A and B are shown apart, each in its own frame.
Chain A
Amino acid sequence: MRFIVQFIAIVITAHLLGLFLPWYACAAVAFIAGYFLKSSQNFLAGFLAIAVLWTFNAWMADLDSSSSLPLRVAQLLGVGSAGMVYVLTAVVGGLVGGFATMSGAMLKTEN
């Protein structure tokens, strides 16, 4: 249950702050959620929250556009297909979210 609360809190707050703060604001959000909403699976919650958030927003942008930019980016980054750019986006965001949440949770344990 705490896991779900933590997950949802990160998704919503990171989304709102993401609209006007630099990309790494999601790490601050995840860190705070790790501290105050510590769960049994902090890394997983943070990873999934940012990965889902980023993938969903990327998908929304892609949905309205017939442009093949994701495929072009895949070829530029040498990852093959547009699907792999989604995976890469999810992993990059997820890792930052996961480590930040885990760090926040560890700080809590210290007190």
Chain B
Amino acid sequence: MRIIKLLVSLFLTIGLIVFLDSRWVIMGSPIPPLGKFLSPFQGFWNNLEPDDVTDSDPLTLRGVKNAITVVYDTLAIPHIFASNDMDVYFAQGYVTARDRLWQMEFMTHAAAGRVSEIIGAGPDGVILDYDRGQRRLGMVYAAKHALEALKQNQDEMIMVEKYTEGVNAYIASLSYESLPFEYKLLDYRPEPWTALKCALLIKSMAQSLCMSDKDMEMTNSLKLFGADTVDLLYPDREDVGDPIVDHPGNWKASRSIPDSIPLALPADLIKLIRLPRPDPGIGSNNWALSGQRTASGHPLLSGDPHLNLNIPAIWYAIQLHTPNISVIGAALPGVPGIVIGSTDSLAWSITNSQRDLVDWYAITFQDARRERFLLDGEWIPTVKDVEHFRVRDHEEVMDTIVFTDWGPIPYDDHYHPDDNRNQYAFRWVAHDPSHDLAGIYKLNRAKNLKAFDDALQTYASPAMNFAVASTKGDIGMRIAGRFPVRRHNEGRFVLDGTRRSSGWQAFIPAEDQIASLNPARGFESSANQYPVDSTYPYYITATSFEAYRNRRINERLKSMTAATPGDMMALQMDHFSLMADENLPWMLAQLDAKSIPEEGRRIAQSLSEWDRMNTPDQTMPIYFALWIRNVLTLSWDEISEANVMLERPTTFTTLRLLKTQPTLSFFDRQATPEKEQAGDILRQSFILAVDEVNRWKKEHPDLDLTWTNFKDTRINHLLRLGPLSESVMGGGSADAINALSRNHGPSWRMVVSLEPSGIRMWATYPGGQSGNAGSFYYNNLIPSWEQGRLYELQMLADPTEGSEHALYTLHISNE
């Protein structure tokens, strides 16, 4: 009897240990191994970091040449002092991994279509579907091309190889107890870092910025409505004014430009599911003021790139210093070098160039085996690539992707066969090999505008508008990237993939690219608007260009004669809605008192008195935003309700057409027997907006009706786990300079004063240096970012200069 009791007790003990040492999936939600996870010796409690970090022990690491000193300042920003390039990139890899390893690895998995290895196939297989999509869009294919190119460039090789060694030195030091929190939560371990992962992260950035297109939507519009309507609804160039560079008559074309391109219209219009499209909220601002407009007499540069708001944040602040480099700014975790920032004599910031760098080609396969496709009368072999997906808690999944000379076939009978682009080949500029890191390498060493221009000669992707200013007093703008020389209408619609002549024939040479230096107006600026005046010889098309923010920036900059860094910070936080200002008067004039209920009349009165500011505690921005949303829905009902893939015209074009062509047939609502015109659309959408606000009030009885509560901005954790995410109180809107919407906004705020005695930089971003939710530095920058109070970042000349401000210093030396 006692034996049985003993055995039962032993069995219970061992069973309990095994149970608590294993990961379980209970009703679809994964539970970490609770014993391991909750043990204060190894589990998540170990990820709680003391606030006051003191000096850490010196490190000896294999792969380091000479001694490296890393000074962590009070914001936990590392300032790396090394004696050569190899050591500085080694150390960048090491310290970045120390703060952000989980994020770096997760983002490479997301880029490479490997998320399902970590979190499984997901509900209804959505995660596996996403992974397959990434491979089918050629993300790994693109990264492999980048890696091949990289091997031919000495500078890029050093950057990537040493960075990789640094990351791996950190990974090698990890035991279960020191793993980042998310590894413990999901119960897996990091794999070795590779050069391919660096390339994948660059491609991931390119994907969020320049993989957007509306070729199929445009093709369908062309078939349904004809060419005139297409030009009316989707002009390549909206009548906005204020291009990024305005130099009429100063452009030349060193490449001949053919007139037109034959179109390849698909026979059928089919209903489909679209690719995830970057939110139109993704945009950015940058500007540079020459000394004639600043209080100090020296240039000021400002930049706030807008991206999805994620935590851990997309940027990591860092200073790199060797006898040859002194550069500080924002780096992408996982990529060596600094993407936005300042050397000791030149500062730059970027915005997205928006250009169309994607095409879809209709393919004719020889037969269902898809082993050959037609090209200039010949049957050319395809390449079939079998992709493996090691899905967690699931057997391995395989997927065959067909590659043509044009690129991969993302959609076919095995992947979203109902997509209109079924059997179309996908061509993306970032599929091609290019030397993007070499650009960053040179930029991080640039001392003057000549070196800056030289750095961007080979820069390909993602294409960007670079604003620049130097301590010599110069300011400039350069739109850098690999842009195909397009024929008129090329890239707007799908193309014929049976003829080589449909392809890109050449790229715009660097000397013809859009650039400007020290313009008479005394400032440069860009905010994703149309890039250039109408005399630029090359054809330009895009999914959309920005129409409001850019003009507000220029209006404000024109009024400045003695600008200070504080004025720049204030301008980044500007909440003025130019869209409201130029449209509300005529929109309100359409609301005749008889047709609007009493409550609506009061709101209309308040709207007319509204100062057009999207500040956090106002209510008018809510009514205006909902009014615009309903105007778009009612105006383009035939587009949203059509059974084919179509794109709504932009808000700018919609409002312009409502104002100037009120009887346009599109404004007649399909669902009603009456014949509506613009005025009816505006009245009906206004009433709908008022109803929506009342509904919101009922659904949120505990919340005040304010813009910030309504907008409900969130910084989501990369795993989309609410408890690890952050909620933000803030104003702004997509058309205001402070372009803070629900999930998008300024991902980095920076102001640099380029003084002859040296640069001064102020910056902040939505997050913190540490990716560890158990650290004070996980979210400590969020309040300053919300309020636009930037911290001064010190560009340190040597480690001793920094020691007085230092949190602690890390010494790294060779074994």
- Residue B778 is within 8 A (CB to CB) of chain A in the complex: yes
> Number of contact residues on B: which range applies?
35 or more
Identify which of A23, A57, A75 contacts B723 (C-beta below 8 A): A75
B451 at the interface (CB under 8 A from A): no
**Are B17 and A65 in touch, CB under 8 angstroms?**
no
CB <8 Å contact, A67 and B6: no
B39 nearest in chain A by CB position: A23
Does B40 contact A76, Cβ atoms closer than 8 Å?
no
Are A92 and B776 in contact, CB atoms less than 8 angstroms apart? no
| A96, B724: Cβ atoms closer than 8 Å | no
Docked Cα-Cα span, A96 to B176, in Å, equals 20
Within the complex, the shortest CB–CB distance from A66 to chain B, in Å, comes to 5
CB distance from A35 to the nearest CB of B (A): 11
Q: Cβ of A58: which chain B residues have Cβ within 8 Å of it?
A: 40, 45
Chain A, range 58-85, C-beta contacts under 8 Å to B: 58, 60-62, 64-67, 69-77, 85
Residues of A within 8 A of B774 (CB): 65, 67, 69
Give the contacting residue for B5; candidates A61, A65, A106; CB below 8 A: A106
Q: A24-B35, A64-B50, A88-B38 are in contact. Are A69 and B44 (CB under 8 A)?
A: yes
Nearest-CB residue, chain B, relative to A31: B13
* B505 proximal to A (CB < 8 A): no
Cβ of A32 within 8 Å of any chain B Cβ, yes or no, is: no
Beta-carbon contact of B13 and A99 below 8 Å: yes
CA distance in complex: A44, B45 (Å): 25
Q: Once the chains are docked, how many angstroms separate the CA of A62 from the CA of B49?
A: 8
**Bound: A23/B22 CA distance, A:** 13
Residue from A69, A85, A103 in contact with B181 in the complex, judged by beta carbons closer than 8 Å: A69
Q: A58-B40, A64-B52 are in contact. List 11 more A-B contacts (CB 8 A).
A: A23-B39, A27-B17, A57-B45, A65-B774, A65-B776, A67-B778, A92-B38, A93-B38, A96-B20, A102-B13, A103-B13
- Whether the pair A67, B775 counts as a contact (CB closer than 8 A) is yes
Residues in chain A near residue B775, CB distance under 8 A: 65, 67
The reply to whether A27 and B13 form a contact with Cβ atoms under 8 Å apart is: yes
Nearest CB in chain A: distance from B376 CB, A: 58
Q: Which residues of B contact A92 (CB under 8 A)?
A: 20, 34-35, 38
Tell whether B721 is near chain A: CB-to-CB under 8 Å. yes
Interface residue B267 (Cβ < 8 Å from any Cβ of A) = no
Q: Contacts A19-B41, A106-B5, A106-B6: A69 and B773 contacting too (C-beta < 8 A)?
A: yes
| A73-B9 in contact (CB<8A) | no
Interface centre among B12, B34, B723 (most CB of A within 10 A): B723
Q: Is B224 an interface residue (CB 8 A)?
A: no
B232 close to chain A: CB less than 8 A? no
A77 to chain B, nearest CB (A): 8
Chain A's closest residue to B717 (CB) is A72
Contact for B38 among A19, A64, A89, A100, CB less than 8 A: A89
Q: How far is the CA of A102 from the CA of B721 in the complex (A)?
A: 40
A22 to chain B, nearest CB (A): 7
Chain A minimum-CB-distance residue to B38 = A89
Which chain A residues lie closer than 8 Å to B9 at the CB level?
99, 102-103, 106
Interface residues of A in 30-74 (CB under 8 A from B): 31, 54, 57-58, 60-62, 64-67, 69-74
CB distance from B306 to the nearest CB of A (A): 27
User: A24-B21, A103-B6, A106-B9 given as contacts; is B48 within 8 A of A67 (CB)?
Assistant: yes
Decide if B10 touches A61 in the complex (CB within 8 Å).
no
Q: What 1/0 mask marks residues of chain B from 15 to 58 whose CB sits below 8 Å from any chain A CB?
A: 01100110000000001001110111111111111111000000
Question: Does B594 lie at the interface of the complex (its beta carbon under 8 Å from any beta carbon of A)?
Answer: no
Distance in angstroms from A101 CB to nearest chain B CB is: 9
- State how many residues of chain A have any CB contact under 8 Å with chain B: 41
Contact call B42/A76, Cβ cutoff below 8 A: no
Is the contact region of chain A dominated by helix, strand, or loop, or is it mixed? helix
Cα A64 to Cα B49 with chains together (Å): 7
Question: Which of chain A's residues have a CB closer than 8 A to the CB of B39?
Answer: 18, 23, 54, 93
B41 near A23 with CB under 8 A, answer yes
A50 to B775, CA, bound (A): 26
Is the C-beta of A8 less than 8 angstroms from some C-beta in chain B?
A: no
A4 within 8 A of B: no
Query: Which residue of chain A lies nearest to B777 when distances are taken between CB atoms in the complex?
Result: A67
Q: Does A95 contact B (CB under 8 A)?
A: yes
B47:A69 contact, CB within 8 angstroms: yes
Interface string of B469-497 (1 = CB under 8 A from A): 00000000000000000000000000000
Query: Given the known A-B contacts A24-B35, A69-B181, are A106 and B43 also in contact in the complex, defined by CB atoms under 8 Å?
Result: no
A54 to B49, CA, bound (A): 17
**Cα–Cα distance between A67 and B47 once the two chains are bound (Å):** 10
B residues less than 8 Å from A5 (CB atoms) = none
- Nearest chain A residue, comparing its CB with the CB of B5: A106
| A96 cross-chain contacts in B, Cβ below 8 A | 13, 16-17, 20, 35
The answer, yes or no, to whether A107 is at the interface (CB within 8 Å) is yes
Q: Name the contact of A67 in the complex, choosing from B34, B43, B773 (C-beta under 8 A).
A: B773
Q: Is the CB of B3 within 8 A of A61?
A: no
16 contacts between A and B (CB under 8 A): A18-B41, A23-B36, A58-B40, A61-B45, A64-B51, A67-B774, A71-B723, A73-B44, A73-B723, A76-B721, A88-B34, A96-B16, A99-B12, A102-B13, A107-B6, A109-B6
**CB of B722 within 8 Å of the partner chain:** yes
Taking the closest CB of chain B, its distance from the CB of A53, in whole angstroms, is 8
A107 to B776, CA, bound (A): 48
A32 CA / B585 CA spacing, docked (Å): 83
Given contacts A23-B35, A23-B39, A57-B40, contact A65 B10 (CB under 8 A): no
Residues of B within 8 A of A103 (CB): 6, 9-10, 12-13
A76 — which chain B residues lie within 8 A by C-beta? 185, 721, 723-724
B698: interface (CB < 8 Å): no
- Closest CB of chain B to A95's CB: distance in Å? 6
- Residue numbers in B under 8 Å from A70 (CB-CB): 45, 48
Q: How far is the CA of A53 from the CA of B439 in the complex (A)?
A: 55
In the bound complex, what is the Cα–Cα distance between A62 and B641 (angstroms)? 55
Closest B residue to A42 using CB positions:
B9
Contact partners of A57 in chain B: CB under 8 A: 40-41, 45
Cβ-based interface call for B695 (8 A): no
Knowing A103-B10, A106-B5 touch, does A72 contact B724 (C-beta < 8 A)?
A: yes
Whole-angstrom distance from the CB of A43 to the nearest CB of chain B?
9
Chain B 166-182 interface mask (CB, 8 Å, partner A; 1/0): 00000000001000010
Which residues from chain A contact B20 at a C-beta distance below 8 Å? 24, 92, 96
Contact of B2 among A22, A71, A106 (CB under 8 A): A106
Q: Cβ of A75: which chain B residues have Cβ within 8 Å of it?
A: 722-723
A89 contact set on B, CB distance < 8 A:
38, 40, 45
In B756-787, the 8 Å CB interface with A consists of 773-776, 778
Q: How far is B52's CA from A26's CA once the two chains are assembled, in angstroms?
A: 30
Q: Which of B6, B21, B50, B52 contacts A110 (CB 8 A)?
A: B6
Whether A62 contacts B45 in the complex (CB less than 8 A), given A76-B185, A103-B6, A106-B5, comes out as yes
The 3 closest A-B pairs by CB, nearest first: A75-B723, A57-B40, A23-B39
Q: What's the Cα separation between A19 and B36 when bound, in Å?
A: 13
Within 8 A of A (CB), among B716-738: 721-724
* Shortest Cβ distance from residue A60 to the other chain B in the assembled complex, whole angstroms: 8
How many angstroms from the CA of A60 to the CA of B43 in the assembled complex? Answer: 14
